[in-house]
Amino acid sequence: MRFLSGITLTALLASSLAAQQQAGSPAPMPASLKSFTSKFFVTGALNGAAISLEGSNTSENGQGGSLGLGYGFTPKFAGYIEGSGARMSSDDGNYTLAHFDIGARYHFANMARAWIPFVDAAFSGRTVQQNDYQMCTPGCTTDDLSMTGTGFSLGGGVMWYASRKVAISANLRWTNGEFNEVKYGNVTVTGLNQDATSTRFGLGMVWFPGAK
């Protein structure tokens, strides 16, 4: 009886110690965190741009840059504003094409991945500006010319995180809309309603200062 009691007591003690060790053991470490898509972020990129007018079989191309600011309300959903400009080549002289976007972005977020794809949509303003444009009607004058309008943009891209704070980004965006106002010198004409499609490809960086 004493022998059996000793065995039973030893078994109970061993079971109790094992339970205490299991309860007090630290939780397993989470998978390595490689990306971050929440809170404020800043974007900057070099851009290639193209634009074509409705009824035209040709497009004009140029290069420029963009700068933007966004905020990830959740890891997946973010809002952003961004401005971009490109110097375009044309047979009638070079000009500047500018976009200003106010939009929303959806990140296919996963903190354990370094590659994060995204899609976005934006309301866009567009401006074309050419200095010293010569117009002959039939007499020739030279003055500054600008066209402005609005459109809607759709796009997407991918980010690769070099660290939790900094990602390399590539994106493509299409904008459809109209130029509805033209200004030449001091003369402004509205109701132009010229449809145009522009395309932008950007390669740059995204900075998430709130990442730890």
Got the DSSP string for 190-201?
A: EEEEEEEEEEEE
Q: Distance between CA atoms of 111 and 167, rounded to whole angstroms?
A: 13
Residue 5 inside a domain? The answer is no
Residue 178 inside a domain? The answer is yes
Q: Is the pLDDT of residue 1 over 50?
A: no
Q: Kindly indicate the confidence band of residue 5, based on its pLDDT and cuts at 50, 70 and 90.
A: very low
Q: Is the pLDDT of residue 14 over 80?
A: no
Q: What is the pLDDT, as a whole number, of residue 179?
A: 95
Q: What is the pLDDT, as a whole number, of residue 17?
A: 44
**Residue 87 identity:** R
For residues 157 and 68, is the Cβ–Cβ distance under 8 A?
Answer: no
- Percent of the chain past pLDDT 90, that is, above it, reads 67
Q: Distance between CA atoms of 30 and 35, rounded to whole angstroms?
A: 14
When pLDDT is averaged across residues 200-205 and rounded to a whole number, the result is 97
Per-residue pLDDT tens over the stretch 16-35: 545 544 555 444 445 588 99
Q: Using alpha carbons only, what angle is made at residue 171 by residues 169 and 172, rounded to the nearest 5 degrees?
A: 170
Which pTM was predicted? 0.81
Count of structural domains within the chain: 1
Q: Is the pLDDT of residue 188 over 80?
A: yes
When pLDDT is averaged across residues 66-76 and rounded to a whole number, the result is 97
When pLDDT is averaged across residues 25-46 and rounded to a whole number, the result is 80
In the structure, how many helices (H) and strands (E) does the chain have? 1, 8
Tell me the CATH number at 150.
2.40.160.20
Residue 195 inside a domain? The answer is yes
Q: What is the pLDDT, as a whole number, of residue 22?
A: 52
Q: Distance between CA atoms of 74 and 47, rounded to whole angstroms?
A: 28
User: In terms of residue numbers, what domain contains 42?
Assistant: 38-207
Residue 19 CB partners (closer than 8 Å, separation 6+): none
Per-residue pLDDT tens over the stretch 74-94: 999 999 999 999 999 988 789
Residue 177 CB partners (closer than 8 Å, separation 6+): 124, 126, 149, 150, 151, 152, 195, 196
Residue 52 inside a domain? The answer is yes
For residues 96 and 85, is the Cβ–Cβ distance under 8 A?
Answer: yes
